[in-house]
Amino acid sequence: MPGRLEGKVAVITGAASGIGRETARRFAEEGAKVVVADLADEPGKQAAEEVGGLYVRANVTDPDDVRRMYGEASEHFGGIDVLFNNAGISPPDDGSILETEMEAWDRVQNVNLRSVYLCCKHGIPHLLERGGGSVVNTASFVAVMGAATSQISYTASKGGVLAMSRELGVQFARQGVRVNALCPGPVNTPLLQELFAKDPERAARRLVHLPMGRFAEAVEIANAALFLASDESSYMTASTFLVDGGLSGAYVTPE
């Protein structure tokens, strides 16, 4: 049976780690040719090797890097069908608006929002050349609901990704390019596990908001990216695709 992404070429940013890495695996399992783009060379090369793909070092905040990244991808594999614009950061110095300095604000905006602008600006022309394709931009559940423990620049950047994706989805709908925003809930990462092993009460305070009572596994987000990247989602564009274990549907009161 052919894979769900058979014959497609996908460029995944931030594919050296976490959700991006897991998605590179799933895409490759389903027949895609994968370009692993990241700044972290060692894990990036490993990830590319694991999936039989191409590693491209690129800083997604830099227009020259982004142009070169798609140029190399297209030259190597003969074209591009899928953009998964996934690279993002949430550093500790981005917190309450009262404490977050402009340097941290700008850094987060650049990596999380400017990068998506650049990747769409320089990536979509490659998709148009093929007669269409799918763009999946990673936003977050915080693009649709507020968090009391604020990461103000992160939240604003993801709101920007969501709004930009919607508008691009509308703009390119008749040219065969679909653009959707993937909005994950909190994911079970090594950092999170360490934090919660140390402080079970803190874990419980957060888990009470999740109807499923657990965080997502990276592969569960990767499977959603796979659906949006593949032709199975052919009637979806400009959507807010929440994969959050019911978090945004919950009304929780303190105990």
Element (H, E) at 182: strand 177-184
154: annotated active-site residue:
yes
Closest contact distance (angstroms) between CB of 79 and ligand NAD is 22
Ramachandran class of 131: left when φ > 0, alpha when ψ lies in -120 to 50, beta otherwise: left
Angle at 205 between CA 203 and CA 207, to 5 degrees: 65
- Which of 3, 29, 31, 40 binds ligand NAD (CB under 6 A)? It is 40
3-state secondary structure of 32: coil
- Contacts (CB under 6 A) with ligand NAD, residues 96-115: 111
The stretch near ligand NAD (CB under 6 A) out of 16-24, 119-127, 169-177, 195-203 is 16-24
Task: Name the residue among 35, 44, 117 with its Cα closest to residue 82.
Answer: 35
**253, 144, 133, 30: CA torsion to nearest 10:** -20
Give, as one character, the DSSP assignment of residue 112: I
- Contacts (CB under 6 A) with ligand NAD, residues 180-219: 184, 186-187, 189
Give the Å distances, CA to CA, from 246 to 49, 101, 203, 211, 213. Answer: 35, 33, 17, 6, 10
Task: Name the residue among 217, 159, 239, 245 with its Cα closest to residue 23.
Answer: 217
Residues 214-243, one symbol each (x = binds ligand NAD by CB under 6 A, - = not), give: ------------------------------
Closest contact distance (angstroms) between CB of 18 and ligand NAD is 2
123 binds ligand NAD (CB under 6 A): no
14 binds ligand NAD (CB under 6 A): yes
| Residues 6 or more apart in contact with residue 204 via CB below 8 angstroms | none
Q: Identify the active-site residue in 55, 70, 117, 154.
A: 154
- Which of 34, 80, 86, 152 binds ligand NAD (CB under 6 A)? It is 86
89 binds ligand NAD (CB under 6 A): yes
The stretch near ligand NAD (CB under 6 A) out of 38-46, 94-102, 124-132, 143-151 is 38-46
Residues in contact with ligand NAD by the rule CB under 6 A: 13-14, 16-20, 38-40, 58-61, 86-90, 111, 138, 140, 184, 186-187, 189
Cite the active site residues. Answer: 154
